[in-house]
Amino acid sequence: MRDPEMRPYMNFWAAQQRNDEEGSREALQQIKELPLALRYTSRIVRALQWGFADFDAETIKIDRKLGLTDADIERLDQGHAFRATQFCMFLSALYGNETMERVMTEAIMAAKQTAKE
Protein backbone atom coordinates (compact mmCIF):
# COMPACT_ATOMS: atom_id res chain seq x y z
CA MET A 1 0.00 0.00 0.00
CA ARG A 2 3.01 2.31 0.34
CA ASP A 3 3.99 2.14 -3.33
CA PRO A 4 3.23 5.32 -5.27
CA GLU A 5 1.01 3.49 -7.75
CA MET A 6 -1.31 2.55 -4.89
CA ARG A 7 -1.95 6.21 -4.04
CA PRO A 8 -4.79 6.61 -6.60
CA TYR A 9 -6.54 3.57 -5.12
CA MET A 10 -6.17 4.98 -1.62
CA ASN A 11 -7.40 8.36 -2.87
CA PHE A 12 -10.43 6.67 -4.39
CA TRP A 13 -11.38 4.91 -1.17
CA ALA A 14 -10.82 8.07 0.86
CA ALA A 15 -13.04 10.06 -1.52
CA GLN A 16 -15.68 7.34 -1.31
CA GLN A 17 -15.66 7.59 2.47
CA ARG A 18 -16.17 11.37 2.22
CA ASN A 19 -18.87 10.99 -0.46
CA ASP A 20 -16.63 13.15 -2.65
CA GLU A 21 -17.81 12.40 -6.19
CA GLU A 22 -15.26 14.70 -7.82
CA GLY A 23 -12.42 13.18 -5.81
CA SER A 24 -13.64 9.69 -6.73
CA ARG A 25 -13.73 10.60 -10.44
CA GLU A 26 -10.22 12.08 -10.29
CA ALA A 27 -8.85 9.00 -8.53
CA LEU A 28 -10.54 6.69 -11.04
CA GLN A 29 -8.99 8.67 -13.89
CA GLN A 30 -5.56 8.35 -12.25
CA ILE A 31 -6.08 4.59 -11.93
CA LYS A 32 -7.19 4.37 -15.55
CA GLU A 33 -3.99 6.17 -16.62
CA LEU A 34 -1.74 3.72 -14.77
CA PRO A 35 0.02 1.28 -17.09
CA LEU A 36 -1.39 -2.23 -16.72
CA ALA A 37 1.87 -3.42 -15.15
CA LEU A 38 1.38 -0.95 -12.27
CA ARG A 39 -2.27 -1.64 -11.55
CA TYR A 40 -3.31 -3.50 -8.43
CA THR A 41 -4.48 -6.59 -10.33
CA SER A 42 -1.07 -6.93 -12.00
CA ARG A 43 0.62 -6.67 -8.59
CA ILE A 44 -1.37 -9.69 -7.40
CA VAL A 45 -0.53 -11.69 -10.53
CA ARG A 46 3.21 -10.85 -10.18
CA ALA A 47 3.20 -11.87 -6.52
CA LEU A 48 1.65 -15.21 -7.41
CA GLN A 49 4.16 -15.73 -10.22
CA TRP A 50 7.08 -15.04 -7.90
CA GLY A 51 5.55 -17.07 -5.08
CA PHE A 52 5.22 -20.19 -7.22
CA ALA A 53 8.06 -19.63 -9.69
CA ASP A 54 10.18 -22.50 -8.39
CA PHE A 55 7.44 -24.61 -6.78
CA ASP A 56 8.25 -28.31 -6.69
CA ALA A 57 6.03 -30.77 -4.80
CA GLU A 58 8.79 -33.40 -4.75
CA THR A 59 11.02 -31.07 -2.71
CA ILE A 60 8.23 -30.64 -0.19
CA LYS A 61 7.93 -34.43 0.01
CA ILE A 62 11.67 -34.63 0.83
CA ASP A 63 11.16 -32.19 3.71
CA ARG A 64 8.25 -34.31 4.94
CA LYS A 65 10.33 -37.51 4.78
CA LEU A 66 13.22 -35.90 6.63
CA GLY A 67 11.18 -35.07 9.69
CA LEU A 68 8.93 -32.14 8.93
CA THR A 69 6.44 -32.86 11.69
CA ASP A 70 2.79 -31.94 11.93
CA ALA A 71 3.84 -29.35 14.54
CA ASP A 72 6.33 -27.90 12.04
CA ILE A 73 3.64 -27.75 9.40
CA GLU A 74 1.31 -26.04 11.86
CA ARG A 75 4.03 -23.42 12.54
CA LEU A 76 4.48 -22.89 8.79
CA ASP A 77 0.75 -22.48 8.27
CA GLN A 78 0.10 -18.80 7.93
CA GLY A 79 -3.51 -19.00 6.99
CA HIS A 80 -3.23 -21.18 3.89
CA ALA A 81 -6.96 -21.88 3.89
CA PHE A 82 -7.62 -18.15 4.04
CA ARG A 83 -5.12 -17.56 1.21
CA ALA A 84 -6.97 -20.12 -0.90
CA THR A 85 -10.21 -18.25 -0.18
CA GLN A 86 -8.55 -14.96 -1.11
CA PHE A 87 -7.35 -16.48 -4.38
CA CYS A 88 -10.90 -17.59 -5.14
CA MET A 89 -12.11 -14.08 -4.34
CA PHE A 90 -9.46 -12.66 -6.68
CA LEU A 91 -10.57 -14.94 -9.52
CA SER A 92 -14.23 -14.18 -8.84
CA ALA A 93 -13.63 -10.42 -8.89
CA LEU A 94 -11.59 -10.67 -12.09
CA TYR A 95 -13.60 -13.24 -14.06
CA GLY A 96 -16.88 -13.84 -12.22
CA ASN A 97 -18.09 -16.71 -10.06
CA GLU A 98 -18.63 -19.28 -12.82
CA THR A 99 -15.12 -18.95 -14.23
CA MET A 100 -13.60 -18.90 -10.74
CA GLU A 101 -15.40 -22.13 -9.88
CA ARG A 102 -14.36 -23.77 -13.16
CA VAL A 103 -10.72 -22.73 -12.76
CA MET A 104 -10.56 -23.94 -9.16
CA THR A 105 -12.35 -27.23 -9.92
CA GLU A 106 -9.97 -27.91 -12.81
CA ALA A 107 -7.00 -26.99 -10.60
CA ILE A 108 -8.14 -29.38 -7.86
CA MET A 109 -8.59 -32.19 -10.37
CA ALA A 110 -5.16 -31.53 -11.90
CA ALA A 111 -3.49 -31.44 -8.48
CA LYS A 112 -5.13 -34.73 -7.47
CA GLN A 113 -4.06 -36.34 -10.74
CA THR A 114 -0.49 -35.11 -10.34
CA ALA A 115 -0.39 -36.43 -6.78
CA LYS A 116 -1.43 -39.90 -8.03
CA GLU A 117 1.39 -40.03 -10.59
Distance CA 56, CA 59 (A): 6
Predicted local distance difference test score (pLDDT) of residue 76: 83
pLDDT for residue 29: 97
Tens of pLDDT, residue by residue over 51-103, are 888 888 888 889 888 888 888 888 888 778 898 999 999 999 999 999 999 99
- pLDDT tens digit sequence for 31-46: 999 999 999 999 999 9
Q: Where are the domains of the chain?
A: 1-40, 56-117
